[in-house]
Every structure is written in C-alpha cells, then in structure tokens.
Amino acid sequence: MSHLVIDNVSKSFGELPVLRGCSLSVEKGSVLTLLGPSGCGKTTLLRTIAGFITPDAGRIVVQGNDISDMPPNRREVGYVFQNYALFPHLTIAANVAYGLKVRRTSRAEVARRVEDALRLVDLSTFADRYPAQLSGGQQQRVAIARSLVLEPSVLLLDEPFNALDARLRLTMQIELRKLIQRVGITSIFVTHDQMEAMTLSDTVAVMHKGVVEQFGSPLDIYDRPRTAYVANFIGRANVIPGEVANGHFDDPARIATQAPAGPAVLVVRPENVTVEPATAGDAAPGWPGTVTFTTALGPTVEYEIDCGWPEPLRAIAPRSPGRPQAGPGDRVVARIADPAAAVVLRRQDGAHVH
C-alpha cells in the first residue's frame, strides 16, 4: 500500500465546492506535486492533509492509519508555509527547537537535534539570529529544518518558492530536491508553475476546478495528456478541433485513434510541428498558412503561423546557421513530424478549445 493515500476527498466552503472527489497516492520517499492555477483547490487539499481543514467526505491515510479525524497537532505531518510562518519572536535555533520542546524532549537532545537540523540546511552560524535578520531563501531553509527536525512521515510544501526571486528560485529548487533525496522523505508540493513541477516531482497531479484531471509522471502527462486543459497547462500545445470518424482523425493526415467517433481535438506539441516553404505541386497533406511571428532563441526558432484558426499554430524548429528560415508573411505548410506523438482527445462540451 502507498505511503500516503488520499481517498475521494471532497470539501465545500458554503455553497462553493472546492474539492470534488480527489484521489491520489504517494509512494514512500517520492515527491508529488499538486499543479494547477490559483483557485483549483490544490492548497485546500494540502491543508486538508495537514488537518487545518476537515474534509466533508473521503479519507486521508498515512502508513495505513486513517488520520482524517486527527487534530493537526497529532498528525506528524510537516508543513512549510508559503511565507514560511517562522515565529518572529524566537531565534532561528528556538524556531527549530519549538516542536521538540512541546514534545518535552530532553534539553541535551533538543540541542543536538537542532544543531543537526541547522547543519543539514547549512545555517549553523545563524542559530542566534531572529527570522527578520535572514533573507527569504534562508528563512525557507529554517522553515524546512523546523519541520524536518521532528522527522515527520510526510512533508507538505505550499508554493515554497513563490516568495523568492527568479534566480534564487532555481537554485533553491535544485537544493531542495537534493535535500529531500538525502533525507528520503515523502513530500507533496503545491505549485502553479509547471516548470517547477517538472523539476521537482516524481509524480504530478494536475488539478482543475477541484478535480484531479490527471495523475502520473511528469513526462507521461506531457506526452499523453488526457484533456486539452492538461495539455495546455503542462507545456505548450496546439489544440486543433476536428472530428473522429471510423477510428481516425483526418486533419491534416490520417491519425489512428482509440477515441470514440464524434467531435474531437488533436493535441500537437510545437516541437512536433515542422514548417516548410509552400511550393506549387506539393500534394503531401499539411496545414497551409502564413507566418505571423518568429522568435529565434539560439538553438531553436519559434513560429506563429496563421492557418485561419482563432489561435495561431505554434511550431518550434531547430535552427542552424546559414540555413534560411521562414519570416513573417511567408507562405508555409505545417506538418506533424511524428503522428504517434500527437494525441487525439474527445472534445468535451464547453471545453476551451483554441
């Protein structure tokens, strides 16, 4: 059985459903990310695991024990707050010692474990300072040390990199990932940043309007998105409306699919689209269009191509010096490079489709 199981958890705030039957599981020592836009319920789910929110229905099981009705101070679940919530009236060492002291740990052991925890996050020399004297990145490490010192069974982190500037964010993501690997603790992150989710996690749960839309490894979700929403949220995607008939989607070329007959969308990643100049007599199927915008990024070029759809078709092609590339106004034909990597999805009523 998985280390942590979230079983069909639902929660409403008044009339507003925030979580609708969420189910997830995390293996021991692995990292799960709850990914979604603000208001999707990801933080509510995290707070439910910590016990700050009582779910209306469903169970939360850690190591086989149902903790759904346990008060937050008995849960042994570490929580790192978005703004760290360090106690401003306590020194760094006293912040880290807080949980040990309320457990009436002996003074000698508190001192030893606080020292170990501060060494783990490389903040030993800051023990006697106050939180206000530390930078954002240092405060975050204190918050993590304060949780880890109690050896919780799960570590929950609510948008831990939000308060950091972009450069520090990347460093801290990698540092944190290494730290989690070293300690081997089961962790759940909440983020709205898909790059962060890809960097940090073994598994990702994409959430949308209180529902877990897809749950799997980052690359699995990237390669095989189950909904147009997921396709757009993880990486960029061209979502092209069409029809499925007789087990295939026919725009621009025949693509076999398991999807049922009816309205459908084709999801194609920009790097799976090739762009060639339109030439007379070219009969191979493709999407003719006009380049409207190009961005050269060194190794690649990004094209926006007007194919007569509401949204431009995006393509990313490798760039090589000396080879001429299409520019704005050029007539081109876009084609799918690898039809097997394109995904056909049933079109949901009301779903947002480009």
Distance between CA 62 and CA 119 in Å, rounded? 29
Q: How far is the CB of 89 from other proteins (least distance, A)?
A: 5
* Residue of 234, 164, 226, 163 whose CA lies nearest to 201: 234
Q: How far is the CB of 222 from other proteins (least distance, A)?
A: 33
Cβ-based nearer residue to other proteins, 130 or 309? 130
**Strand segments (E) across 192-299:** 203-208, 211-216, 238-245, 248-249, 255-256, 262-268, 273-277, 287-296
Q: How far is the CB of 15 from other proteins (least distance, A)?
A: 17
Burial of 149 (0-12, 13-18, 19+ CB in 10 A): buried
Q: How far is the CB of 148 from other proteins (least distance, A)?
A: 11
**Residues found near other proteins in the complex (CB under 8 A):** 50-52, 71-79, 81, 83, 85-90, 98-99, 102-103, 129-130, 132-134, 146-147, 150
Q: How far is the CB of 158 from other proteins (least distance, A)?
A: 10
DSSP designation for 302: E
Distance between CA 302 and CA 230 in Å, rounded? 22
**Strand segments (E) across 166-202:** 186-191
Cβ-based nearer residue to other proteins, 132 or 297? 132
Cβ-based nearer residue to other proteins, 98 or 233? 98
**Pairing of the two strands 248-249 and 238-245:** antiparallel
Cβ-proximal residues to 138 (8 Å cutoff; 6+ apart), any chain: 123, 126
Cβ-based nearer residue to other proteins, 4 or 305? 4
Q: Identify whether the C-beta of residue 142 lies closer than 8 Å to the C-beta of residue 121.
A: yes
Q: How far is the CB of 154 from other proteins (least distance, A)?
A: 11
Tokens representing residue 178 in the block: 């290494």
- CA 171 to each of CA 111, 156, 200: distance values in angstroms, whole numbers, following the listed order: 29, 20, 12
Distance between CA 239 and CA 242 in Å, rounded? 10
* Residue of 195, 247, 244 whose CA lies nearest to 222: 195
Cβ-based nearer residue to other proteins, 158 or 213? 158
Cβ-based nearer residue to other proteins, 13 or 52? 52
Cβ-based nearer residue to other proteins, 158 or 304? 158
Cβ-based nearer residue to other proteins, 151 or 282? 151
Cβ-based nearer residue to other proteins, 85 or 351? 85
Q: How far is the CB of 132 from other proteins (least distance, A)?
A: 5
Sign of CA dihedral 233, 235, 241, 245: negative
Q: Give residue 120's identity as a one-letter amino acid code.
A: L
Q: How far is the CB of 98 from other proteins (least distance, A)?
A: 5
Q: Cβ atoms within 10 A of the Cβ of 184, count?
A: 10
Q: How far is the CB of 68 from other proteins (least distance, A)?
A: 16
Sign of CA dihedral 208, 261, 338, 224: positive
